[in-house]
A and B are shown apart, each in its own frame.
Chain A
Amino acid sequence: MATTAATARVVPVAALPRPSRSLWNNALYKLRRDKLTIGALIVLVMLAALSLAAPLFSEYVFHYKFEQQDLLHTYEKPQLDNLAYLLGSDEIGRSQVVRLLYGGQISLFVGFTAAFFNLTVGVALGLGAGYFRGVIDDILTWVITTLNGIPQIYLLLIIAALWRPGPFTLVVIIGLLNWTGISLYVRGQTFALREREFITAARTIGARDRRIMFKHILPNVLPLIFVLAAIDVGAIILLESALSFLGLGILPPTPTWGNLLTNAVSYFVRAWWLVVSPGAMIFLTVLCLYLIGDGLRDALDPRLKTH
């Protein structure tokens, strides 16, 4: 009798007032209310779209190619009469706004691709070391403390100065140097997770290591990896701009936000606008990425106290 009553009481569960929410649904729900993060996301998407559409803009809006020069219109101030000089022109009359758009392509490409490398390396190594522990973990920890012991900009600058890499090599180098933070995080999480009951349960029913790592542990680590990724992209864009600014990143005539500043330095007494705009683009992009990272963290981490 009692059993029937209990069963009867369980049944209405199907008719909950609202469907249950998964972590991701919940995060999306929270994100939608977070105006700052949504704003940052919109600005970032717009910046990326503008950069990707740079050839279209230069052809149909500004009527000015990115390598086009005009020695009669050097150091034009920012103006509205001639759209090509919307943000002024440089020492050989090139359009700053068009070059900024093209520069965005490279800067964003480097940021996202290198971050992808970082994530792949960092997650794979962190997961492996945290799961298998022992010698693998000791070696990884040693590599990480060693890499963290050398100021990153030193290592990058020296590699760049001695080997002079192109854009693709640069991406690979940054990708291979910058993964330590992500790796440490994944390793720590894996360490804690592998002791939990659901992992023991999975092992009991005969799941193999690979399955446990990728099907059971990784999904639990993944949410905050997105947070780290957003911040990582921003940090790489800053790093690339500093390298290019010092003349060791991506070299002219390919414009990037960093190397546009290298030139501008020589003329900044005459043309301050050449200094302001590339830096402002870097600042805006990185700010958006960091804000998105913060917003994602708030949305994805249910344990986080909201102050």
Chain B
Amino acid sequence: MRDFIIRRLLYAIPTLVGISIITFLIARLSPGDPIRLFTFGIKDFTQEDYLRLLHAYGLDKPIPLQYVDWITNALRGSFGESLIYHRDAFAMLVERIPATLQLAVAALLLQLVIGVPLGVVAALKRGSWVDGAIRVFGVAGHAVPAFWLGLILIIVFAVQLRWLPSIGLLTVGHDQWDIPDRIRHILLPAFVLALTGIANYSRILRTETLDVLAQDFVRTAHAKGLHERTVVFVHALRNALIPVVTALGGILAALVGGALVIEQVFSWPGVGQFTFQAAIAKDYPIVQAGVMFTSTLLVVSYLVRDLAYAMVDPRIKVS
């Protein structure tokens, strides 16, 4: 097991290196010269000044050396100053992390709380209209454009019914710790973000529960005269839940990526919205910090998934 953990940890390193190369190249290859951009409109700006600045920022070095400089700083958490706000890009990004985490955790909870029971119910009522409805939902949940669903929910619940607020973390002027207010704000975006995962879990749990219910140990449990409920919830469900862990990787990827669009729709001040707006404004340090942060998060969550899977399922061999 220890070997497996170490090996898996080592595997993550080349991936992170690859990601950092892409992130570095994003800024290097994009159109526009940063020095010209920076000094635009300055009078008496000679070619000599230009070369001096180029040298001062290390931009006259070969690209591979520039990458080494960049990654050394990035590892210290320094992506440079934002070109627009003139503050440390990474520090600004860190301020946005709590909002995104809240949204992701809320969505993850909704997925488990709604998705898992849906799948189990569909399996238990197999062939009935309930099963049919849940299966259709399992496909439809993937096919809905999330941002559109967000807009429709805003129209229905915020504009027409006026039950829920449509934007932001909390009502302006309210106390930071007004939890009910925060919950009312997070409900719509978290649900939209959770939808794909709910659909996913309902499908996985349905197939898995059916598989497990067909196995011998379930028949044995029945033969012992155990109550139906005990068989399903204690014997079957425990085994059917293993793939929930495996699916987690894909679901986390969907959460991290999906959050960007949904934060935009609901004006949620998170990492995704921040990075997106920086990309539009061509504020490279923030874009790079944003991409590195979310990608590292993703790689770490794949890692955690694999380790969790190895712990849950003893059949995973160290190879």
- CB within 8 Å of B: which residues of A? 142-143, 145-146, 148-155, 157-159, 161-163, 234, 238, 241-242, 245-246, 248, 261, 264-265, 268-269, 272, 275-276, 278-279, 282-283, 286-287, 289-291, 294, 305, 307
Contact = CB atoms under 8 A, between A and B. Distances in A.
B149 to A, nearest CB: 8
19 contacts: A150-B294, A150-B298, A151-B294, A153-B257, A157-B260, A162-B31, A162-B279, A238-B143, A261-B151, A268-B151, A272-B155, A275-B148, A276-B152, A279-B148, A286-B142, A286-B145, A290-B142, A291-B139, A307-B207
Interface string B238-251: 00000000000000
Q: Quick one: which of B146, B152, B159, B206 has the most chain A CB within 10 A?
A: B152
B282 interface: yes
Contact of A287 (B139, B257, B260): B139
A154 B299 contact: no
B257 A151 contact: yes
Interface string B257-276: 11011001000000010011
Interface residues of B, number: 51
B176 interface: no
Contacts of B291: 150, 154-155, 158
A145 B275 CA distance: 22
Main secondary structure of the interface of A (DSSP, over half): helix
B30 A265 contact: no
B51 to A, nearest CB: 26
Interface string B12-43: 00111011001000100011000000000000
A149 B19 contact: yes
A151 B207 CA distance: 28
Q: Which 5 A-B pairs have the closest CB atoms?
A: A146-B18, A279-B148, A151-B257, A161-B279, A286-B143
A282 B145 contact: yes
A159 B240 CA distance: 41
A145 B15 contact: yes
Interface of B: 11, 14-16, 18-19, 22, 26, 30-31, 126, 139-140, 142-149, 151-152, 154-155, 159, 206-207, 210-211, 253, 256-258, 260-261, 264, 272, 275-276, 279-280, 282, 287, 290-291, 294-295, 298-299, 302
Query: Binding site of B, secondary structure by majority: helix, strand, loop or mixed?
Result: helix
Contact of B298 (A151, A242, A245, A294): A151
A128 to B, nearest CB: 19
A261 B146 CA distance: 12
B155 A275 contact: yes
Nearest to A291: B139
Contact of A307 (B15, B210, B287): B210
A138 to B, nearest CB: 9
B295 A151 contact: yes
Contacts of A245: 145, 147-148, 261
A158 B26 CA distance: 8
Nearest to A284: B143
A282 B148 contact: yes
